Structure 1
Amino acid sequence: MSDLAAYDPWSAGFVADPYPAFAALRADRPVFFHEPTGQWVVSRYADVDALLRDRRLGRTYLHVAGHEEFGREPDADFLKPFWDLIRAGMLDVEPPVHTRLRRLVSKAFTARMVEGLRPMIRALAEELAGALAAGGGGDLVAELAEPLPVNVIAEMLGVPAEDRPLLRPWSADICGMFELNPSEEAQRTAVRAAVEFSGYLRGLARARRDVPRDDLISALAQVVDEGGDRLTEDELIGTCVLLLNAGHEATVNATGNGWWSLFRNPGELARLRADRALVPTAVEELMRYDTPAPMFERWVLEDVEVAGAVIPRGAEIALQFASANRDPEVFADPGRLDLARDPNPHIGFGLGVHYCLGAPLARIELAESYGALLRLAPGMRLAQEPEWKPGFVLRGLKALHVEI
């Protein structure tokens, strides 16, 4: 099979193990145009790093050109509620709008506030890990990886406990839109979830604006910068949806993928069990070794040259984070899991102006969940080999069954 044919993001085999294909691409075709997706694929660390920082690329092109100018079809009318919601947050906008939104959100979503959540996160992680241990095992994804981040974000936002079961389905349905070439059914499902979720949050935000509480929605509703600027209601809603989607889906995958990596590397798992002080560096290495969000897309706003290839304005680039994180030019013996790897400049959280705002929260959640399982289920072992979900843009396991 050729290097180009080996890159097949819809193939179950590729999703399960994309790394041999990435190694071949980095060596022989580090930049190429992929006809099935209509994207330029970039696989080397140096190129991905440079393009993430290059302002000639953007998450969107709508601030500089219309769809027709970029050779794209206009959004279907039925997608308007979805894109209105997504483009009200900071993920799919560029400076100066992105700069303004990030500045305002950062005033409420502070490092001090995030660190203050650690005791709550630890208690929740121990409750979930304890229940898994008491039951003699189960599906680690469903019983710990999924409920931990969704409950943390719900607690942070101020979503009442009785409403929290709504959040995970909404998040999963919305994120289905970000896979490559989603079906019309997936698109309509995402629109329905966007309408329901934004409607729910709008009611909650208005209640918090009238009667503030000690939660992030109240803080976002009240935040004002030195010039008197504040978030609009739509921007507040878009921000809350982004915090849930970005902070939940990737963290679920990072937890499941991480434990699957540990089970496949029993020597490193034994090392971690013997020295729990390795947890912080283990979190970074597990993010590098099997990146939960392996690909991010950018639009080319001005022609760029990458590894000798000229990529024209209007093109879309697929930046392969998972490949970059296994590049031997940056990481010694990149296919080896080393929980004490230092330095470890992985790009699992991105780089540049779109660097993940929730990275500190994700690191705390992962560290506390690994720590809780190491303490309360020290003998945890794999019960059966897992299957991967079909998506590649958000890459994770369907389930991870363990025994204790």
Structure 2
Amino acid sequence: MVRFDPWNPDFVAYPYRVYDELRRDAPVSYFQPTNQWLISRHADVNTLLRDRRLGRSYLHVATHEEFGKQPEPDFQEPFWRVIRAGMLDVEPPVHTRLRRLVSKAFTPRMVESLRPRVRAIAEGLVDTYVEKGGGDLIAEVAEPLPVTVIAEMLGIPDGDRHLLRPWSADICGMYELNPSLEAQHTAVRAAADFAGYLKALARERRQRPGDDLISALAGIEELTEDELVGTCVLLLNAGHEATVNVTGNGWWSLFRNPGELARLRADRSLLPTAVEELMRWDTPLQMFERWVLEDIEVHGVTIPRGSEVALLFGSANRDPAVFEEPDRLDVGRADNPHISFGAGIHFCLGAPLARIELMESFGALLDRAAKLELRQEPVWKPGFIIRGLHALDLTAE
């Protein structure tokens, strides 16, 4: 067994050499520390994401006990009440109903109509960033852009928006492998606080509706209060965690590949393919998990009902069976079936909005910052599943 170690900072900083060995020697392998089956090849990951014998949850077909699992401790109840009321962690028919209701806000026309506002926000953030000579690109550009966009969509008042990013970061801590007890309690508190805030805001909007998503959701009778809260929390978390990390990881990738950065600066028409390539080359969501609802077989290995599979997106996106010269960053890569947004019924609903945010963010920096230079090499956060940098400190002019 090669050294897959998601708690090792060196592995988190560069997992791709290990992925190469997994794909070649052990495309299906059992990882005892997390009791998961690692799936590393693109074809297998792509197939299993679409296989209805697997699910994000098993609670629609079995109890914890029937699946041989221990129920979560009582203190986690506020967290799971929020998370399991959103569409990401449920399966049909509940998932189908929730996605149908929320997708009305994410039609191609609705999302495209947001582009001028996204551009204005991005340009304003970049102008401020350049005027002060740079700083932490993640804190000053990458984070505020998607948070502002989703906050405006939801209708979160300006004075409350500073609460959103800390809540999201704390909640997402529960998604890491074997989170510490402290991280669990932190996630529970954040979920409870965010839920309380959203419930109060939704009640207010039912009385005085506005032109925002919370008002629209609050007016849907078939949506329960918990489902409204779960949906809004999911939209915040999914709506900006990945975008923030694609921005930070992406610029760090370009600095490590100066020829590709120069190529992008010289030919702005490459921006659409560059955004897709940056999502592939240093994937922000390295792993996505599924429960096995019926026995499956992958490469002759039987994975029994009740098991959990860990689908390695970062490995799939570097698979040489799919990508020519997968370890080479190519901002003009045309054939790029990366799976950074997932696949199947849980394919990221916000993918079109994320692409617009990334295009406008990278475009504004390329247009308005003639020179960007790294002040110091960045450090990776300890998280493996949601993988990003602590900061990206740059000079800008």
User: Does TM, scored on the shorter chain, surpass 0.5?
Assistant: yes
Q: How many angstroms does 1:232 deviate by?
A: 1.4
Whole-angstrom distance in 2 between the partners of 1:331 and 1:319: 18
User: Given residue 137 of structure 1, which amino acid in structure 2 is its aligned partner?
Assistant: G
Query: 298, 316, 341: which one pairs with 1:324?
Result: 316
Whole-angstrom distance in 1 between the partners of 2:3 and 2:391: 26
Residue 341 of structure 2: aligned partner: 349
Residue 304 of structure 1: aligned partner: 296
Residue 142 of structure 2: aligned partner: 145
Query: 348, 360, 378: which one pairs with 1:368?
Result: 360
Whole-angstrom distance in 1 between the partners of 2:269 and 2:175: 36
Could you list the per-position Cα deviations for residues 345-375 of structure 1 after superposition, in whole angstroms to 9, with x for gaps in the alignment?
Answer: 0000000000000101110110000000001
Could you list the per-position Cα deviations for residues 210-237 of structure 1 after superposition, in whole angstroms to 9, with x for gaps in the alignment?
Answer: 22111111122234xxxxx631121111
Q: How many angstroms does 1:38 deviate by?
A: 0.7
Whole-angstrom distance in 1 between the partners of 2:107 and 2:172: 25
8 Å CA contact 1:49–1:351 kept in 2: the answer is yes
Residue 275 of structure 1: aligned partner: 267
CA RMSD of aligned residues (A): 0.9
User: Given residue 55 of structure 1, which amino acid in structure 2 is its aligned partner?
Assistant: R
Could you list the per-position Cα deviations for residues 218-262 of structure 1 after superposition, in whole angstroms to 9, with x for gaps in the alignment?
Answer: 122234xxxxx6311211111000000111111111100000000
Identity %: 71
Q: How many angstroms does 1:343 deviate by?
A: 1.4
Tell me, yes or no, if structure 1 residue 258 matches structure 2 residue 255.
no
Residue 72 of structure 2: aligned partner: 75
Whole-angstrom distance in 2 between the partners of 1:219 and 1:345: 34
Residue 218 of structure 2: aligned partner: 221
User: Given residue 72 of structure 1, which amino acid in structure 2 is its aligned partner?
Assistant: K
Unaligned segments of structure 2, at least 5 residues: none
Tell me, yes or no, if structure 1 residue 35 matches structure 2 residue 32.
yes
Residue 174 of structure 1: aligned partner: 171
Matches within 5 A, 1:15-164: 15-164=12-161
Query: 353, 358, 371: which one pairs with 1:379?
Result: 371
8 Å CA contact 2:2–2:21 kept in 1: the answer is no
Q: TM-score, normalised by structure 1?
A: 0.97
User: Given residue 79 of structure 1, which amino acid in structure 2 is its aligned partner?
Assistant: Q
8 Å CA contact 1:297–1:319 kept in 2: the answer is yes
Q: How many angstroms does 1:111 deviate by?
A: 2.5
Residue 292 of structure 1: aligned partner: 284
Whole-angstrom distance in 2 between the partners of 1:239 and 1:166: 17
User: Given residue 306 of structure 1, which amino acid in structure 2 is its aligned partner?
Assistant: V
Secondary structure at the aligned position of 1:212 is classed as: coil
Secondary structure at the aligned position of 2:310 is classed as: strand
8 Å CA contact 1:146–1:252 kept in 2: the answer is yes
8 Å CA contact 1:104–1:230 kept in 2: the answer is no
Could you list the per-position Cα deviations for residues 60-115 of structure 1 after superposition, in whole angstroms to 9, with x for gaps in the alignment?
Answer: 00111111122211111111110000011101000111011101111233322221
User: Given residue 297 of structure 1, which amino acid in structure 2 is its aligned partner?
Assistant: E
8 Å CA contact 1:33–1:40 kept in 2: the answer is yes
Residue 225 of structure 2: aligned partner: 233
Tell me, yes or no, if structure 1 residue 194 matches structure 2 residue 191.
yes
Whole-angstrom distance in 1 between the partners of 2:103 and 2:117: 21
Residue 385 of structure 2: aligned partner: 393
Residue 226 of structure 1: aligned partner: none
Q: How many angstroms does 1:333 deviate by?
A: 0.3
Q: How many angstroms does 1:5 deviate by?
A: 4.0
Whole-angstrom distance in 2 between the partners of 1:358 and 1:221: 20
User: Given residue 79 of structure 2, which amino acid in structure 1 is its aligned partner?
Assistant: F
Secondary structure at the aligned position of 2:291 is classed as: strand
